[in-house]
Structure 1
C-alpha cells in the first residue's frame, strides 16, 4: 500500500520534532482536512537566516571524444544563483472571558474560536503557494504562477496552454516536492509551520475604546518557497472553466491536457521527490466525468496511508496522486500570447 510523505520531511515530520507550544495533532488535522497541499509540501531550512540561496542549473555540457596524445577542453555547467525570501504571517485572537467561562468547557470553546484563525492561515498560505508575488506584495513570498507565466523564460517549456480566453480560467499543476526540486522554506533556528501560543487572560479593548477581560491567543507562520528544478513542475493553464463539458466534446479535454503535462515532467535519472497533481473542485468534477465517458484507464483509485496513519482512497493519474485544492482559483487571466495553445 502506498504511503504518502514517507521519504522527504513534510510539515508533520518537522513540526512533530520542533513543536514548542503544545499538541501538533489538532492543528495538523484541521490543515490536512481543509487543504492537502499544506501537508503534502516538503520543508527545508533557509541557509542564510530568513533567506535561502540556491543555484539553478541552466545548461549541461557534453564531453569531447579524445584521441591518443590529444587533450580535451574542460567544460562546466551553467547556473543561475537565486535568493529566495521568507514571509512572516501573524494574527491574534481575543475571546471574551465571560463567554468562555459560561460555556462549561473553556478548552473546547477556545479551540472552536481558534479554528477560524487556522482556516485563515491555511487559506492565505495555500493561495500564495500558487499565486504569491513579491512584485505585488514585497513582504510576501514568490509562489508558483509568477514562475510559470513568462513565455520568454526557460520554464515556459513546462507550461501547457489549454487555450482559454477572458478571466474565468484555472490551472492544473504537477508539483514535484523534494529537496532537489520544489520545497517550502522556514528561517534558520525558527519553528516550522503554524505556531500557536496561549497568552492567557488579558485586558482587551473594543472598537469604541472600552475594556473587557479576554483570553488571547497568538498565531505565527514563517513561510517561503524555492523551486530548485523548474523541469520538475508543469502548469496546465488557460483552462476555461465556463467551457468545460462532461464529454470533452467542446472545451478543454482534461485527460488529453494532463497526458501532455505528464510527458513534460523531467525529474532526472534519480527520484527528485514526490510528484502530486493539484486541481480545484470544479476541474476535479469534470475530470471524473470526462474519464468515465471516455472509458479512461489512466485514472484509478488506490488505498493509501495518510499522514495520520489512516487508510484512504486516493485518485491517481498516470501514477501520480491527484489532490483537490480550493486554493486554485477560477478567475485566472488567459496565458500570454507567447504560449501556443495545445
Structure 2
C-alpha cells in the first residue's frame, strides 16, 4: 500500500513532460521540499479554458429479477454535471541589478529569490487546496473543506466527528488521488504547475518613496490550478480534532480509531494514490504513538526511496497548511 502509484501523473510529472529542458528540475525540487502534497496530487488538463466540467454519477440503475415470460423495464443511471474553476495565482519579483550583480553570480542570486517566491506560492496553493472557497473569494478555487463541512450533508458518512468543541480544532484528511476520484486540474491548453518567466533587465518605476527609477531584474511567476472531486466517496475528513486534548493518551488512541473509521469509508483504496494529510502537531502525536505502542497500525516504510510514516500502509504526510484554529464542523 505504501508504494505510491506511478500511473497517475503528479504535477511534477506533467511539468517535466511539458518543459524537458532541465530548468524545471530546479523548480520541482524546491516544490517538493516545501510542499509534499505536490508529490502526490494527480494533475489532469481540464476540458474548459477556465477549468473542468465533470459528469458525476448520482444513482445506479436497478436491475430486475424476472420469471419466464416476465418483462423487464429498461432503466438507466442518473448523473449530474459539476464545473470546477481554476484560480490564477501570480507574483512578480524585482531585484536591484547592482545588488544582483555584486557577487559576480547574478543567476545564483536570483535563484535565491526564486526559492522564496516558490515557497510562498506553494504555501498559498496548499492552503487553498484545503480551505479555498470561490463562493467567498471568487479568484480562488474551491478546496476540500467547503466540500466536507457538514455532519448532515449527503457526504456526511465521510466526515468523521472527533468531538472537539473548542477553538483549537484541526483535521486529518485521507485523499485517494486519481483521474476518477480526486485530482488537480489546469486550464485546457495551458501548462501544468508553476511557470517562471525571466523578464530580464527592466527599468523599475517608482523604485523609492520619491518616485525614482532604477535598473533591476524582473521575474514573473504564474500558477493556474484548480481541484476536481469526481467521486466524494474517495476523500475522508476527520474533523473537530481538539489539539490540546491530544496530550491525553486516551484521546490519542481515539484519534487512531477515527482514522480507521475514515479509511473504512473509502470504497477501494486501490482506486488511486491514497495519502493521509495532517499538520505537524497531529503527526507528532502519531509518531509518539509509535514510541508509546498505542497501536500497531503505525509503521515506517520506504516510499520512493524515502523513509515515510504510514498508517495501515498509507503514507502520512505533514502539511503545515492545515490549521489548529478550524471552526467546529456541525
TM-score (norm 2): 0.95
Give the CA deviation at 1:61.
2.7
- Rounded to whole Å, the distance in 2 between the matches of 1:219 and 1:20 is 19
- Rounded to whole Å, the distance in 1 between the matches of 2:5 and 2:116 is 27
- Rounded to whole Å, the distance in 2 between the matches of 1:114 and 1:48 is 30
Aligned to 1:253: 254
Aligned to 1:332: 326
- Rounded to whole Å, the distance in 2 between the matches of 1:49 and 1:84 is 11
- Superposed CA deviations along residues 172-208 of structure 1, whole A, max 9, x for unmatched, are 0000100000000001110100000111000012242
Alignment partner of 1:237 out of 236, 239, 249: 239
- Superposed CA deviations along residues 137-162 of structure 1, whole A, max 9, x for unmatched, are 11110100000012342111100000
- Rounded to whole Å, the distance in 2 between the matches of 1:102 and 1:86 is 40
Distance 1:135 1:207, change over 3 A: farther
Aligned to 1:279: 278
- Rounded to whole Å, the distance in 2 between the matches of 1:56 and 1:153 is 17
Contact 2:290-2:299 within 8 A present in 1 as well: no
Give the CA deviation at 1:21.
8.0
Aligned to 1:117: 117
Aligned to 2:180: 180
- Rounded to whole Å, the distance in 2 between the matches of 1:90 and 1:207 is 23
Distance 1:5 1:103, change over 3 A: farther
- Rounded to whole Å, the distance in 2 between the matches of 1:272 and 1:165 is 34
Aligned to 1:17: 17
Bigger mean CA deviation after superposition, 18-27 or 77-86: 18-27
Distance 1:95 1:5, change over 3 A: farther
Give the CA deviation at 1:166.
2.4
- Rounded to whole Å, the distance in 1 between the matches of 2:208 and 2:74 is 70
SS at match of 2:183: strand
Aligned to 1:225: 227
The correspondence of residues 27-176 of structure 1 with structure 2, limited to 5 A, is 27-176=27-176
Aligned residues: 328
SS at match of 2:323: coil
In the alignment, is residue 197 of structure 1 matched against residue 201 of structure 2?
A: no
SS at match of 1:24: helix
Contact 1:300-1:317 within 8 A present in 2 as well: yes
- Rounded to whole Å, the distance in 1 between the matches of 2:8 and 2:190 is 19
Aligned to 2:267: 266
Gaps (5+ residues) in structure 2? none
Contact 1:298-1:317 within 8 A present in 2 as well: yes
Bigger mean CA deviation after superposition, 39-48 or 4-13: 4-13
SS at match of 1:12: helix
SS at match of 2:306: strand
Contact 2:142-2:226 within 8 A present in 1 as well: yes
- Rounded to whole Å, the distance in 2 between the matches of 1:121 and 1:99 is 24
Gaps (5+ residues) in structure 1? 306-310, 337-342
SS at match of 1:193: coil
